Structure 1
């Protein structure tokens, strides 16, 4: 994932400001000016065994877009390009707001598309060196999903690890100018039809539970290693359809074997009476 581009965008503006004014004053005003600079929400809507979508909503703050418009635009274009490569759709509400929808048909496709999108391979080393994201630190993002089929429903065990420790605004001498927490609002949301349960571990983030347990929302922590783990069930249309067909066949066989013979006997015609044979005259003596 290339979320660290935010650090570069904001860093360009801060560095230019520091050359024009006193450092102490700039550092005092930066947290106030840049709070909520970027809103980045990632969601997974897992509707059933065969349907779901990855949804992302990204909104750049007005100040951030104004001070670093060229870099921000290049980053949004990169998101647009990667989305279309994965057969998704992009909606640009404005020049600083974008919504992404990427469909998936099963759990394996979800993991494949999610990891491809957030860990892109966008060309040769020469092309990458000249891209707007070449000089920003890489951020590790990895999703894993283990599934088990119980005919009528699918059990899912999801693990997601996002390393945001390299995300921040760094000065030329290597010191941290601004904590990334004041620049970014990051959320990860999971929507399931039957609800989900967050698993507790030593380093796992705990989510906020909404919509009667059917929605879990994690507030991601910039500058830290984020680990999410949850389990949930989704209905299986294939299994439910197979069960309905099996019940239909069973009922049909029962009706054929039990009811149809009885109906046939009730409608059977009585046997015809035999006609009496005419008596022959005894012509013998």
Structure 2
């Protein structure tokens, strides 16, 4: 610590600019401005000169301090230089009223003479100024808390649900419901709507009211549906400024003529969006009437109106496996036709055994 610098700082805080300059001038002669101590001394001298109204000397020194090595002092010098070089505005004369000075003479009977000389009002003493201080740690903590609160509040204003409908063997239909709980269309919804608009659209977009967007696809096979889901999730993450891993959707089927045994597996990695609240993301699969052949982690699935509802957990890897049996209309119709043929053959054999022979046309 430089001897005398603390005393000069105290004099500056008291507004005693003359004493402050008398203490700093010898220190400035021994410490050049290229050193950090010399730059600090001259910054205090600039503040004292500003208090005395010597703006020219303060501006000259501030210009030298804008090239010092200390970034904090350099920024403070730039701020003071902007204040010193700011143009001063003149006040119009009509904004104030000046009264003439009356001189009273000791002689009786003489009228007072109006003085032609107008006294200028004495300017008030400049306020004491000190070095510019940065915001405290408490202010930074308050700002961080406010920003985090806004992020959580805005994150809870969105609800996304994906509906998967197994309409037939190797046929899957997808529907996305994106709902803004605030009742207004968010910027992300507008960007996402533009991102999924293609020359050959697969999605059919429907907007029932402000803040609600529905995307519906035509029935697709399992491979096409998996690629469409991966592409849609990738576009949704890109419009939100995130890099989301592609979801893993696979459907394995085994045809038994009268029905199809389906094994559906869906894996979603949501570790990048851990700030969203629960129940803001969900997947439904239908039709489904049994939970015995459903395995889902980390949130167990539930049944609602013959649909499987699976709430996703943000910040974790979500995995669901479903085993179901779906009857085939074509296979059941073939069995009915085969049964009718067998019954007809049986009745014809009984008729022949009774001696009626084959049916004949009337003569």
Alignment of 1:181 with 2:277, yes or no, is yes
The answer for the alignment partner of 2:227 in structure 1 is 115
Distance in 2 between residues matched to 1:151 and 1:196, nearest whole Å: 25
1:96 counterpart (188, 211, 235): 211
- What are the Cα deviations for residues 52-73 of structure 1, in whole angstroms up to 9, with x where unaligned? 521221113438845xx2x431
Distance in 2 between residues matched to 1:136 and 1:261, nearest whole Å: 80
Runs of 4+ deviating beyond 6 Å: none
Q: Where in structure 2 are the equivalents of 1:47-86 lying within 5 Å?
A: 47-49=167-169, 52-62=172-182, 65=185, 69=187, 71-81=188-198, 85-86=201-202
Distance in 1 between residues matched to 2:255 and 2:233, nearest whole Å: 33
The answer for the alignment partner of 1:257 in structure 2 is 349
1:152 counterpart (258, 273, 276): 258
**Normalization by structure 2: what TM-score?**
0.51
Contact 1:189 1:218 in 2 (8 A): yes
Contact 2:162 2:177 in 1 (8 A): yes
Contact 1:61 1:96 in 2 (8 A): yes
Contact 1:197 1:230 in 2 (8 A): no
SS of 1:136's partner is coil
CA deviation after TM superposition for structure 1 residue 35, in Å: 5.6
- What are the Cα deviations for residues 15-46 of structure 1, in whole angstroms up to 9, with x where unaligned? xxxx9x93333434543x33632111111122
Q: Does the C-alpha gap of structure 1 residues 54 and 134 become closer, same or farther in structure 2, counting only changes over 3 Å?
A: closer
- What are the Cα deviations for residues 109-136 of structure 1, in whole angstroms up to 9, with x where unaligned? 03422332332599xxxxx9xx963953
SS of 1:117's partner is helix
SS of 2:314's partner is coil
SS of 1:56's partner is strand
CA deviation after TM superposition for structure 1 residue 246, in Å: 0.9
CA deviation after TM superposition for structure 1 residue 104, in Å: 2.1
The answer for the alignment partner of 1:223 in structure 2 is 315
Q: Does the C-alpha gap of structure 1 residues 113 and 72 become closer, same or farther in structure 2, counting only changes over 3 Å?
A: same
The answer for the alignment partner of 1:233 in structure 2 is 325
Contact 2:184 2:211 in 1 (8 A): no
Contact 1:45 1:53 in 2 (8 A): yes
Q: How many equivalent pairs are there? A: 220
The answer for the alignment partner of 2:143 in structure 1 is 22
CA deviation after TM superposition for structure 1 residue 161, in Å: 0.4
Q: Does the C-alpha gap of structure 1 residues 210 and 149 become closer, same or farther in structure 2, counting only changes over 3 Å?
A: same
Q: Does the C-alpha gap of structure 1 residues 25 and 166 become closer, same or farther in structure 2, counting only changes over 3 Å?
A: closer
Contact 1:187 1:217 in 2 (8 A): yes
Q: Where in structure 2 are the equivalents of 1:173-212 lying within 5 Å?
A: 179-181=275-277, 185-192=280-287, 195=290, 197-200=292-295, 203=297, 205-211=299-305
Q: Does the C-alpha gap of structure 1 residues 42 and 233 become closer, same or farther in structure 2, counting only changes over 3 Å?
A: same
Distance in 1 between residues matched to 2:358 and 2:317, nearest whole Å: 78
CA deviation after TM superposition for structure 1 residue 180, in Å: 2.2
Q: Does the C-alpha gap of structure 1 residues 134 and 90 become closer, same or farther in structure 2, counting only changes over 3 Å?
A: closer
SS of 1:233's partner is strand
Contact 2:183 2:211 in 1 (8 A): no
Higher-RCO chain (CA-CA 8 Å, sequence separation at least 6) = 1
Q: Does the C-alpha gap of structure 1 residues 51 and 254 become closer, same or farther in structure 2, counting only changes over 3 Å?
A: farther
